[in-house]
Amino acid sequence: MKSHVSTKNAVAPLLLGVWLAGSALAAAEVPRDAIERLRSDLKADRNSVIAQEMSFTPKESEAFWPVYRSYRAETERVADRIVELVLEYEDLFPDVPEQKATEMLKAYTKAEGDLLNIKRKYLKKFGKVLPASKVFRFAQLDNRFDLGTRLALAASLPALPVGQGQAPSEGR
């Protein structure tokens, strides 16, 4: 199996940095400014890694970046909703009322579905300006950044304590 070392070397330190940033957030509370700093750093890193690792021709580059900016604008709007959920959770923790937990679950699953729909829509658009192999490579790189962001958020948020709220049915 061939190994593409440059991608691994470019993304691995970034993911470690994201994890460490998430750990730093976990040590303190999850303030909005810390989340926004992390998101800003990731945006700059994401753009530079994609530019470096995609090896666009000048024509591909010219066609890709406007679509990419639109893609990121849409995903950022959904990410804003997720950040709001994280901050709401952090404010309520460890006492999240059942009704609020239900509302937050609905909002979270809606956001996840919206992200998936945006990805589907834009992978088709990228397919109109790039060869399939480059769209696939982009999807891999984009996924790595998304996983790093999720890792940072997961590391920064404590899990809801066992026994929180009541079970829907005591007879199970």
Task: Using pLDDT thresholds of 50, 70 and 90, give the confidence band for residue 26.
Answer: very low
Q: pLDDT, tens digit, for every residue of 36-69?
A: 777 777 777 899 999 999 999 999 999 999 999 9
Question: What is the average pLDDT score of the chain?
Answer: 82
User: What pLDDT score does 11 carry?
Assistant: 52
Type of residue at 25:
L
Q: pLDDT, tens digit, for every residue of 105-118?
A: 999 999 999 999 99
Q: Is 72 helix (H, G, I), strand (E, B) or coil?
A: helix
Share above pLDDT 70 across residues of the chain, in percent, rounded to a whole number: 77
**Hunting for tokens 């589907």 — which residue is that?**
120
Six-digit token string for 149: 């962001």
